[in-house]
Amino acid sequence: MTQLETMGAAAKAASRFLMNAGARKDDALLAIAKALRENASAIIEANQTDLKNGKEAGLTDSLLDRLRLDEARIEGMAQGVEQVAALPDPIGKVLDGRTLKNGLKIEKVSVPMGVIGIIYEARPNVTSDAAALCLKAGSAVILRGGKEAIHSNCAIMSVMRAAIAGIGFPEDCIALVQDTSRQSATELMQLTDYLDVLIPRGGAGLIRSVVENAKVPVIETGVGNCHVYVDASADIEMAANIIFNAKTSRPSVCNAIETVLVHKDAAAAALPAIKAELDKKQVEIRGCEKTREILGDCVIPATEDDYEREFLDYILAVKVVDSLDDALDHIAKYSTGHSESIVTADYSAAEKFTSCVDSAAVYVNASTRFTDGGEFGLGAEIGISTQKLHARGPMGLNELTSMKFIIKGSGQIR
Amino acid sequence: MTQLETMGAAAKAASRFLMNAGARKDDALLAIAKALRENASAIIEANQTDLKNGKEAGLTDSLLDRLRLDEARIEGMAQGVEQVAALPDPIGKVLDGRTLKNGLKIEKVSVPMGVIGIIYEARPNVTSDAAALCLKAGSAVILRGGKEAIHSNCAIMSVMRAAIAGIGFPEDCIALVQDTSRQSATELMQLTDYLDVLIPRGGAGLIRSVVENAKVPVIETGVGNCHVYVDASADIEMAANIIFNAKTSRPSVCNAIETVLVHKDAAAAALPAIKAELDKKQVEIRGCEKTREILGDCVIPATEDDYEREFLDYILAVKVVDSLDDALDHIAKYSTGHSESIVTADYSAAEKFTSCVDSAAVYVNASTRFTDGGEFGLGAEIGISTQKLHARGPMGLNELTSMKFIIKGSGQIR
């Protein structure tokens, strides 16, 4: 057995314990929160090593900031775990049920997934967040974080495992892959005997690698080439506000927009108003010919590649389209199926857009930035699914569960 | 572009049409049913070629019987398609919804998957069944049937495509892969740009190949190493009846049982009664040492392999266990997570079994043979999922759908 297979088998065994752990899961979460607080200094010390290595490796300031832990951030992690404990248990819900003509009583009940794998990048707070959500959902979890955070993650995991062992849980309910080589990630993606689902959280490169290599069931997350379409009938001020918010309030996240499509009849009035807003944050505009005719040479000519890319930066592609249908075609071609929004005053345009755009979240007259578990009221979020199987859009605790049928009879045969 | 990529792109384009085809889908289904009847003789002629080739290739009588089409069977296929037309539309259902504090109105709505791939074996009736279910669920479908049925499948597909084209549907809503090489199956499993989900319907070999090769999201179906556990408190006659039914009513299907576990306190009374029933169909018993002590040398010694295998035949593995916990351990180790049943008169044993067995369908005092879309009241069945993601157990039209969020605002930004 490889090290990961051993880890997988241990997680599988622990998952049988968790399947019926009920409210004791909350005790485990509260024990984790307490232990994180009590061991904050040890975790911060481990984090110092990661920060030092990160600086030497030339990580950018923003990456170093994501990596950094201090008392306040560890307090935030502990509170996050407590918030998960306070959520309703997603397990054991009767989702459906009836009595068949032959007297069999059939119920569809939510049950744990079993063993969940999560691959993520250099954000040590994800280690406690993801572990807490999986534990609450009754599943064992195998985490594999980015190599830049390995010392922090090991320290956090060690604290969490000791905490749950202290109240009688198998420590293998939560585990961390300490080998951060690319090979260990690939092996995790192929651990078919033990993993019930793998959730990659990260950029387009990670997602591609998972689609290419995974043999276990996967929930793809996070890649968002999102669009706002400004309809002929749009309120120009509303459109400019929504576009400014969706592009600049946090450009690095997946629900930020990358392309704006403008109906030709609205372009002359809308484009200057949109540009005026975007100029407040020096957003670079890459536009089609018609956009450049209206806005001038300050607009860089857009290439095919610009419509395909997730800039995740203060850059926006803009295209003038002839009709709503053209906008729908553009979105069908380039969207990653995350979030798209129409700004319109026209009832039938709104209905057509929401019917025809095949994305996880389709908006009318609102910013795409709302695609988020917290905003949608899920209580917590493990990621945003951009696939159509099992979960789509923001995933909370319910999306981390499976179901089974329980059928009670009195000797029925078929 | 390869031939399959071209087919995938055409299906993707057709899926945009289907997304909002609404009740016209039923017109298409009725047109298909009519065309199947009208073209029965051409289909039967093509089927003759398959049968002739099959005989020359030495197919067994039971395989030839599955392959055979006649007027009555084609009438059955047409009626099957009409039954699907009569089912409620699974698309456009509002699954959840509320108004957020900021005034955004959010709805979760069922939508089509997009493009569904189905790989199956030499049963030409699946060609119309699967196409009808996917069409009703608003998805385009790419079918790849077994090579033994290729002439029949081509004839059926050609009739169906002409029928839907006749009422203005893109014929690429339904398509058949005519290349039946292993390579074309692998290519279909990796058609990530076009397939939203792949459903393999077939034996363990096909499922393994899909798990090994697929890059598109998959719903595993059909492998069932199912168990009946006879508890210490079981009604012996009920246990024998259930076991006889679950093993012999149709041994070749996935919801038939392969292993019986008997509590040691029930073994002396239960095993002879079970054997007496099984003898009516000459079921071969492969048992543990204790089983052989009770039933004698007519029982073949069971090997480890016998507990792992899906016999799909008149063969049953039997094991005497010391306790319910031992039975649960055995099931956790060997079950494929399809269907398991406990026969018991003990309330807490029943509750523990249903809580702790991690299978798609868990029964108390009933035959596992009920795990079936028709029996569960789903109206139709595309297969039985043995994975935990998206769908588990019998899959009907609802399980062939995805969902999206539609959010309506009045200018909200975050």
Residue of B nearest to A244 (CA): B413
pLDDT higher than threshold 90 for residue A49:
yes
Q: What percent of chain B has pLDDT above 70? A: 100
Partners of B93 on chain A (C-beta within 8 Å) are none
Which one-letter DSSP state was computed for residue B138?
T
pLDDT higher than threshold 80 for residue B68:
yes
pLDDT higher than threshold 80 for residue B412:
yes
Strand-pairing partners, residue B395, are B383
Mean pLDDT of chain A: 96
What is the per-residue pLDDT across B209-247, written as a single tens digit (0 to 9) for each? Answer: 998 899 999 998 878 999 999 999 999 999 999 999 999
What is the per-residue pLDDT across B262-302, written as a single tens digit (0 to 9) for each? Answer: 999 999 999 999 999 999 999 999 999 999 999 999 999 99
pLDDT band at A348 (very low <50, low <70, confident <90, very high): very high
Give the model's pLDDT for residue B204: 81
Interface contact A389-B215, CB threshold 8 A: no
Give the model's pLDDT for residue A121: 86
Check if the beta carbon of residue A186 is closer than 8 Å to that of residue A213: yes
Interface contact A409-B19, CB threshold 8 A: no
pLDDT higher than threshold 90 for residue B372:
yes
Superfamily of domain A226-370: Aldehyde Dehydrogenase; Chain A, domain 2 (3.40.309.10)
Interface contact B362-A242, CB threshold 8 A: no
Distance in angstroms (rounded) separating the CA atoms of residues B333 and B272 = 27
What is the per-residue pLDDT across A129-151, written as a single tens digit (0 to 9) for each? Answer: 999 999 999 999 999 999 999 99
Interface contact A387-B413, CB threshold 8 A: no
Interface contact A408-B363, CB threshold 8 A: yes
Interface contact B358-A212, CB threshold 8 A: no
Nearest by CB: B387 against A217, A359, A411: A217
What is the per-residue pLDDT across A69-127, written as a single tens digit (0 to 9) for each? Answer: 999 999 999 999 999 999 999 999 999 999 999 999 999 999 999 999 999 988 899 99
pLDDT higher than threshold 90 for residue B354:
yes
Interface contact B405-A114, CB threshold 8 A: no
ipTM tops the 0.85 cut: yes
Mean pLDDT of chain B: 96
Distance in angstroms (rounded) separating the CA atoms of residues B339 and B410 = 50
What is the per-residue pLDDT across B100-128, written as a single tens digit (0 to 9) for each? Answer: 999 999 999 999 999 999 999 888 999 99
Residue of B nearest to A402 (CA): B388
Mean pLDDT of A337-354: 98
Nearest by CB: B414 against A20, A245, A350: A245
pLDDT higher than threshold 80 for residue B172:
yes
Domain ranges of chain B: 3-220+387-408, 226-370
Give the model's pLDDT for residue B222: 75
Give the model's pLDDT for residue B202: 82
What is the per-residue pLDDT across B86-96, written as a single tens digit (0 to 9) for each? Answer: 999 999 999 99
How close B183 comes to chain A (CA, Å)? 18
Give the model's pLDDT for residue A203: 81
φ, ψ dihedrals at B362, nearest 5° = -120, 120
Structure-token pair, residue A158:
């060690």
A-B CB pairs within 8 A amount to: 201
Alpha helices in A125-258 (DSSP H): 125-136, 150-166, 182-189, 204-213, 236-248
Give the model's pLDDT for residue A62: 85
Alpha helices in B39-181 (DSSP H): 40-56, 61-67, 71-86, 124-136, 150-166
Distance in angstroms (rounded) separating the CA atoms of residues A343 and B103 = 16
How close A50 comes to chain B (CA, Å)? 33
Give the model's pLDDT for residue A164: 98
Which one-letter DSSP state was computed for residue B149?
G
Partners of B338 on chain A (C-beta within 8 Å) are none
What is the per-residue pLDDT across A297-310, written as a single tens digit (0 to 9) for each? Answer: 999 999 999 999 99
Interface contact B16-A356, CB threshold 8 A: yes
Q: What percent of chain A has pLDDT above 90? A: 92
Interface contact B20-A355, CB threshold 8 A: yes
Give the model's pLDDT for residue B272: 98
Partners of A354 on chain B (C-beta within 8 Å) are 406, 408
What is the per-residue pLDDT across B174-212, written as a single tens digit (0 to 9) for each? Answer: 999 999 998 999 999 999 999 999 999 888 888 889 988
pLDDT higher than threshold 90 for residue B380:
no
B371: CB partners within 8 A, 6+ apart: A405, B224, B255, B338, B339, B360, B361, B384, B393, B394
Which one-letter DSSP state was computed for residue A56?
H
- Quick check: helix, strand or coil at residue B199? strand
Give A335: exposed, middle or buried? Use CB within 10 Å, 0-12, 13-18, 19+: buried
Interface contact B413-A366, CB threshold 8 A: yes
pLDDT band at A155 (very low <50, low <70, confident <90, very high): very high
Partners of B393 on chain A (C-beta within 8 Å) are 404-405
pLDDT higher than threshold 80 for residue B134:
yes
Give the model's pLDDT for residue A328: 98
HSE of B369, CA atoms in CB hemisphere, 13 A: 20
Domains A3-220+387-408 and A226-370 share a fold: no
How close A38 comes to chain B (CA, Å)? 35
Extract the runs of DSSP E, i.e. beta strands, from A322-386: 339-343, 361-366, 383-385
Strand-pairing partners, residue B259, are B227, B317
Q: What residue type is B233 in one-letter code? A: S
Give the model's pLDDT for residue A147: 94
pLDDT band at A223 (very low <50, low <70, confident <90, very high): confident
Closest among B263, B325, B351, B241 to A406, alpha carbons compared: B351
Residue of B nearest to A339 (CA): B405
Give the model's pLDDT for residue A315: 97
Interface contact B392-A402, CB threshold 8 A: yes
Nearest by CB: B388 against A114, A392, A393: A114
How close A367 comes to chain B (CA, Å)? 5
CA A8 to chain centre: 24
Nearest by CB: A363 against B390, B402, B409: B409
Mean pLDDT of A393-414: 97
Global confidence as pTM: 0.94
pLDDT band at A280 (very low <50, low <70, confident <90, very high): very high
Nearest by CB: A407 against B16, B361, B413: B361
HSE of A336, CA atoms in CB hemisphere, 13 A: 26
Partners of B246 on chain A (C-beta within 8 Å) are 413
Distance in angstroms (rounded) separating the CA atoms of residues B291 and B342 = 19
Give the model's pLDDT for residue B215: 93
Give A8: exposed, middle or buried? Use CB within 10 Å, 0-12, 13-18, 19+: buried
Closest among B89, B90, B108 to B98, alpha carbons compared: B108
φ, ψ dihedrals at B216, nearest 5° = -85, 160
Interface contact A393-B413, CB threshold 8 A: no
* Architecture category of domain A3-220+387-408 in CATH: 3-Layer(aba) Sandwich (3.40)
Cα Rg, chain A, nearest whole Å: 24
Closest among B108, B112, B143 to B22, alpha carbons compared: B112
Give the model's pLDDT for residue A212: 87
pLDDT higher than threshold 90 for residue A206:
no
B90: CB partners within 8 A, 6+ apart: B110, B136, B137, B138, B397, B398, B400, B401
Interface contact A404-B393, CB threshold 8 A: yes
pLDDT band at B377 (very low <50, low <70, confident <90, very high): confident
pLDDT band at A211 (very low <50, low <70, confident <90, very high): confident
Give the model's pLDDT for residue B321: 98
Give the model's pLDDT for residue B206: 87
Residue of B nearest to A350 (CA): B408
Mutate to test the interface with B, among A100, A371, A414 (most CBs of B within 10 A): A414
Mean pLDDT of A273-290: 98
Interface contact A414-B362, CB threshold 8 A: no
